[in-house]
Structure 1
Amino acid sequence: MPRRKQVPDADVLDLALGVLHTGGAQALTFAALAEVSGLAPATLVQRFGGKAELLHRVLMHAWDQLEWRTAELGEAAAPGPEGAVAFLVGLSAQYGGIDSYADALLVLREDLLDPESRRRGREWKEALARILDTCLEGPPGAGAVLATYWQGTLLWWSFDPALPVTEYVRRELTAFVTTVLRPA
């Protein structure tokens, strides 16, 4: 009798997130997930329920990863504007190139449609602002301003990705903190 393949849920969710990134929600089917995981579609349905539950679990898994990475980088962030910039550059590294960034927008679309994802997004913004406020040691709210500027910087980079995202983000955020958030 052949051994049943054991794949932890977290590993299956990583694979499902890859499918979601490259093809969007319509590509995230049990057949597609079976193909990349080596598990039977029926097994996946037993473990994750219907497609809506699978999509929700994938989104929550992605948020878990992002929150973990944010906390990890936040704990290591150095004080001062340079530390704040380095923290955001570290978070930007996850995007890699323009294709990966564009694929991430497929996940963002699903996040915006999911109430729990929107809640976690609001909480993540607050966590970013706290970490950045600690680094900046500046006026209250400066961290939220820098986080907002960072998100805009990523979007502007995507229209002209001639530089690596981390290089572009470092350049733009450094200019921002030295001209706008400089100490009085």
Structure 2
Amino acid sequence: MTRPKTKSDEQVLEAALGLIHEHGPEALTFERLAKACGLSGATLVQRFGNKAQLKQRTLLQAWDGLDAKTRELAATVPKTPAGAIELLVGLSQGYGGIEAYAEGLLVLREDLRDPVLRARGGAWKAFLSEALAACLAGTPDTPRDIGLLMASHWQGSLLWWSFDPTIEVATYVEEGLKCFVAAITKTAARKP
């Protein structure tokens, strides 16, 4: 008879993600995770195999959360330029301050190193770009790949904010995205 799990894999992976965000990806060890979640290291090795598999499963669960948040926002915002801004500002809410953002870049490094995680990022980019394009479709003479252009502007805004984080990240992003939308609508209005 097998013993019942005292913590679900999802709960354990959430604790692992907390360790990654707090101390960096390299700090994720079975020993640290055992202390954080209350399970033995042997139990964790039995469930997750090795450190690389543990890290990958942790980051895949994080991608699941981002995918769910993106789908939820995409389904609830108005299909307007303001809705596109609302979607991206909503995705910017979880970044926190500059230290949390900087730690998040270390997590991104892990996503880029692993082909499975990199593929998840590519799939998210495609979904987000389509959701943004749907919000901007009513804009006259909408540029090709407008969703990807807006997503790229958003990612750039996050990076530029990080060099001078004097205001809240969501406020900075919202201001930048409003300028972006104004620029593309003015350009479209000027075409003969």
Provide TM-score, normalisation by structure 2: 0.90
Distance across 1 between alignment mates of 2:166 and 2:185: 27
Unaligned runs of 5+ in 2: none
How far residue 25 of structure 1 moved from its aligned partner, in angstroms, is 2.3
Q: Once the 2 structures are TM-superposed, how far is the Cα of residue 99 of structure 1 from its aligned partner? A: 1.4
Q: Distance in 2 between matches of 1:133 and 1:89?
A: 16
- SS where residue 79 of structure 1 aligns? coil
Please report how far the alpha carbon of residue 24 of structure 1 lies from its aligned counterpart in structure 2 after TM superposition: 2.1
Aligned residue identity for 1:96:
G
Map of 1:1-184 to 2, 5 A cutoff?
6-137=6-137, 138=139, 139=142, 140-182=144-186, 183-184=188-189
Cα-to-partner distance string for 1:16-74 (whole Å, 9 max, x where unaligned)? 01111122222000011011101111111111111111011011111111101100111
For residues 121 and 26 of structure 1, the distance between their equivalents in structure 2, rounded to whole angstroms, comes to 21
Is residue 142–residue 181 contact of structure 1 (8 Å, CA) maintained in 2? Answer: no
> Any runs of at least 4 consecutive aligned residues in structure 1 with deviations exceeding 3 A, and if so which?
none
RMSD over equivalenced CA pairs, Å: 1.4
Seen in structure 2, the aligned counterparts of structure 1 residues 121 and 5 have a Cα distance that, compared at 3 Å, is closer
Check the 8 A contact 1:5/1:39 in 2, yes or no.
Answer: no
1:77 offset after TM fit, Å? 1.4
> Aligned AA for 1:168?
Y
In structure 2, C-alpha distance between the alignment counterparts of 1:159 and 1:107, rounded to whole Å? 19
Q: Distance in 1 between matches of 2:83 and 2:5?
A: 45
Structure 1: state its 5+ residue gaps.
none
The letter for the 2-side match of 1:156 is W
Residue aligned with 1:180, SS: helix
Range that drifts further, 174-183 or 139-148: 174-183
